[in-house]
Amino acid sequence: MNGPYGQQLAVTGVGVVSPWGDGPGTAHAARGTAPAGNGDWFDHRDRLGPRGYKYLPAAAQYALAAARAALADGGRPDAVPDHRRGLLLATNAGLAGLFDVMDTTVAEDGGAARLSPATAPYFAVNVLGNRLAAELGLRGFALTVANERTAAVDALATGALALAAGRCDTLLMAAAEEPPPGGRGEQGAAALALEPLAAARARGAGVHALVAARSLFLPLRALGSPAGRDGAVNRLAEVLAAVPGPRTVHLDLDGSAVSETVALAVARAAAGRTVPPPGGATAEPRRAQPLSPQRGAGCLGPAFAVAHAVTTAREEDRIVVTADGAGHVALVRISSAPAHHTQESQHAETA
pLDDT in tens, 8-29: 999 999 999 999 889 999 999 8
Compute the average pLDDT of residues 255-280.
71
Q: Specify the higher pLDDT residue, 223 or 104.
A: 223
Q: In what order do the strands lie in the sheet with 317-323?
A: 141-146, 85-91, 170-177, 188-195, 9-17, 209-217, 328-335, 317-323, 247-252, 287-288
pTM of the predicted model over 0.85: yes
Q: What was the pLDDT predicted at 332?
A: 95
Condensed to tens digits (0 to 9), the pLDDT of residues 166-219 reads 999 999 999 999 888 777 789 999 999 999 999 999 999 999 999 999 999 999
Q: What was the pLDDT predicted at 272?
A: 62
User: Above 80 in pLDDT, residue 277?
Assistant: no
What helix, strand, coil percent values describe the chain, rounded to 5?
A: 40, 20, 40
Taking each helix axis as running N to C, give the angle between helix 300-311 and helix 151-164, from 0 to 180 degrees, rounded to the nearest 10: 60
Four-residue CA torsion sign, 50, 194, 329, 304: negative
Q: What was the pLDDT predicted at 2?
A: 54
Condensed to tens digits (0 to 9), the pLDDT of residues 92-151 reads 988 888 888 887 878 887 777 777 777 777 778 888 999 999 999 999 999 999 999 999
Q: Which residues of 207-306 form beta strands (DSSP E)?
A: 209-217, 247-252, 287-288
Q: Whole-number mean pLDDT of the chain?
A: 84
Q: Running DSSP on this structure, what letter comes out for residue 120? A: G
